[in-house]
Amino acid sequence: RGMAIIEEFDADEAPGPVQVPGAEHSGRITGCAGCEGLHICSELAFEGGTNVLSKSTRVLSFGEFLLDDSSDVLGPNMVYHRAENGALITHLRVACKFISAGLSNNGGEVAVVSEAEGEAGAAFLIASFLILVKKLDTEKAVDAVLRARPMNGLSDHPEFMKNLRFLGRNGLPDWA
């Protein structure tokens, strides 16, 4: 009574790493047909030796993102920028075509990353794609991104959420 049993560790081995859900370098989007190759990534997924992404992966970055020289990614890359006036959705049509082309390429992989806006920027691009191309409603699109990387910050970003609700209600405007 009152005695605690303490497991002894083998002195030659360190205990294994603690696995925290959502703390991986990237997360695969699930729950959407045809999106099996779509990933939301942290910048760490692109460091050499992580083996998270294949050489044929397309990379879409929200804002400038430079792959380091040791990265294994050789696929086509695209940088997504806000419009000069700061508008968020102006270039979504081109970004969605980039993602679609990558996914339709015989098991193609598309990795979306954001350094400029944190992971919320990458989450915004993927949720926009799910709403506009895959025709998911806004809530399901946001949930899919949060399942892949729970700590991405999308739902805490008012501007991104406002724009996603707009896209869900109205689709992409002709001027975009």
The per-residue pLDDT string of the chain (176 residues; one tens digit each, 9 = 90 and over) reads 555 555 555 556 655 544 444 456 889 999 899 998 999 988 777 766 555 566 557 889 898 876 655 555 556 788 899 888 888 999 999 999 999 999 987 778 899 998 778 789 999 999 999 999 999 999 999 999 999 999 899 999 999 999 999 999 999 998 87
pLDDT at 147: 95
Phi and psi at residue 119, in whole multiples of 5°? -65, -15
Task: State the pTM of this model.
Answer: 0.81
